[in-house]
A and B are shown apart, each in its own frame.
Chain A
Amino acid sequence: MHSSSRSAGSGTWSPPPGAEVLAPLDPSLFAPGPERDARFDVKERWVDCANFPDGHPKQVVEFLHRQMNEEIDSLESSARNLCDFPAADWEVRMCLARQCYDEARHSQMFRNLFEKRGGTVGEYPVLNFQYRIITRFANLAARLAIQNRSFEAGGLDAITAGIQQTRADGDEELCALYEAQIADEISHVRFANEWIRKLSQADPRNLLAIGQAMKAASLAFAQVMGREGTEGVSYPADREGRLEAGFTPEEVAFTASLMAEKR
């Protein structure tokens, strides 16, 4: 889960009549998407998804479906890191291999709950923007910075908020899923923090690659999400989770202040 993946706003399945016609995505910011089977309806932008308003009876089930697909994107991106960087240190490759397993389990966990609540795979549109943004870069440190240290670190904040919400709502099943998921995600962010530091120390050009990639990734993300997908979607920083995930206290304080400003 990344910080903007939870449904927000009051969209419907497709843009309402008379909605602003958006410019196409800038192809230079995106790699080709991963394969999906015939059940899936893959969209490019957040507004084209089924964005049910808060409290809508289908909101949670649609979210579970969307999340099931985002976990597949994360699995596919980690898998690409394994085959695209065969010369990477064996230790980081082991972390990536483990991440593949974790993301596959996460996807299955979301699918199980989604189906238990009456959903069918492919029932709602999905986005593959994560894979398309991450695999656009040919540098492992840059990919880890985008996938694990940005999307997934943002996910820590969102999952922690989700745990509090589901506990308040009495949704114990989803709360248990989130708790299991966040433990895994903390490990993913932690190994990325560790390896980004090691890779940057070994070759400072990696820092430049990360900076350039983060800039392009945030442009790409803004194109996919649009104003509608991010407005009003923000969570307080999960200080404890971020510290466990290897961010320094200074980094956590900085993120927390940025997020407090946004709120």
Chain B
Amino acid sequence: MGLSVKDRGEAVATLRHVHVELMEMLAQWTPSAPEMEVKLLFGEHIWNVAQHADALGKRAHELRLPPQHSLPPVEPYAKLLAQVRAERDTARRLAAFYDALLPGLAKRYRDYLARTDALMDAPTVRILEQMLDIESRMVAQSKTLRSEIPALAKAERAWVDALVEQERRVGNLVATAGS
């Protein structure tokens, strides 16, 4: 059985919540990251994730939830977001955001796209496809920056791998799933 309207609304509202948190994370890091080039990258990406949160919030309303409705994700993912947000080192911040969080989300969008009905849920499909495109571009921009400024690429591999694994283990982000 595919996703119901309720399932879709909850998934979309949860992703909205996550994107608002991503926006706040980048915003918090902008004055506290010393490197000018990183600040400017964050400035652009704050707008990208805000637009994604906005599109998801409008879609949540179309799926019979209040306008711009957000649902907090499951506890382990909320903890992961808080843990990443508390990072002080710029190289670690970049690795956590662009090597763990965004690729992990991309996998979840693909999973949703595989499960939903492409016609009945076409507006969500369109939003997620656009997000996949833009967020993969954000990852590419961060890689280019890190190749131009090698000091920004010095996050320990084992630490990043552990974070990627922590993200993967969370599973479904929707807190109400199965309840």
Contact = CB atoms under 8 A, between A and B. Distances in A.
Contacts of B47: 97-98, 100-101
A79 B42 contact: yes
A55 interface: no
A86 B24 contact: yes
Contacts of A104: 39-44
Contacts of B41: 104
Contacts of B32: 34-35
A38 B35 CA distance: 8
B158 interface: no
18 contacts: A35-B34, A36-B34, A37-B34, A37-B36, A40-B36, A72-B39, A76-B31, A79-B31, A80-B27, A83-B27, A86-B24, A93-B50, A97-B50, A100-B42, A101-B47, A104-B39, A104-B41, A104-B42
B31 A35 contact: yes
A101 B49 CA distance: 11
A93 B54 CA distance: 10
Contact of B46 (A40, A97, A121): A97
Interface of A: 34-40, 72, 75-76, 79-80, 82-83, 86, 90, 93-94, 97-98, 100-101, 103-105, 107-108, 121, 131
Given A79-B42, A82-B46, A100 B27 contact: yes
Contacts of A121: 36
Given A35-B32, A76-B39, A100-B43, A83 B24 contact: yes
Given A79-B30, A90-B68, A107 B40 contact: yes
B81 interface: no
B33 interface: yes
| Most-contacted residue by chain B among A39, A75, A79 (CB, 10 A) | A79
Contacts of B35: 37
Given A75-B39, A100-B43, A90 B31 contact: no
Contacts of B26: 79
A36 to B, nearest CB: 6
Contacts of B9: none
B43 A75 contact: yes
A75 B30 contact: yes
Contacts of A103: 43
Interface in B1-43: 23-24, 26-28, 30-36, 39-43
| Most-contacted residue by chain B among A34, A40, A75, A103 (CB, 10 A) | A75
